[in-house]
Structure 1
Amino acid sequence: MRVLSEKVTFAGQDGQQLAARLDRPEGSEPQAVAIFAHCFTCTKDILAAKRIAAGLVLRGVAVLRFDFTGLGHSEGEFANTHFSSNVDDLLAAAAYLEGMGLAPGLLVGHSLGGAAVLAAAGQLPAVKAVATIGAPFDPAHVLHNFGASLELIEREGEVKLELAGRPFTIRKTFVDDLREQRQRQRIEALGRPLLVLHAPGDETVEIENAAAIFGAARHPRSFISLDDADHLLTRAADAEYAAEVVASWASRYLGLVAPKPLPGVPEGVTRVSEADPGGFRQDVLAGAHHLLADEPLSYGGTNLGFTPYQLLAAALGACTSMTVRSYARRKKLALDDVTVDVSHDKIHAVDCSECEASGGKIDRFERVLHLAGALTLDERDALLAIADRCPVHLTLEGQALVVTRLAGEPR
Structure 2
Amino acid sequence: MVDALPPAEWTARADLAGLVEALGPGNLRWVGGAVRDTLLGIPVKDIDGATPLPPQEVIARARKAGLRTVPTGIDHGTVTVLLPGGPVEVTTLRHDVSTDGRRATVRYAQDWADDAARRDFTINALYADPQSREIFDYHGGLADLAARTVRFIGDARERIREDHLRILRYFRFQARFGAALDPAAEQACAELAETLKGLSRERVAMELLNLLGLPDPAATVARMHSLGILPVILPETGPGEIATLERLIAAERMAGIAPDPMRRLAALLPATEGTAESVAARLRLSGKQRKRLACVAERNGSDGDDPRLLAYRVGMECAHDRLLIAGLPVGALDGWAIPQLPIKGGDVVAAGITAGPRVARMLRMVENRWIAEGFPDSARVAEILAECVSAEG
TM-score (norm 1): 0.28
Which structure: greater strand fraction?
1
- Pick 1 or 2: higher relative contact order, CA cutoff 8 A, min separation 6: 1
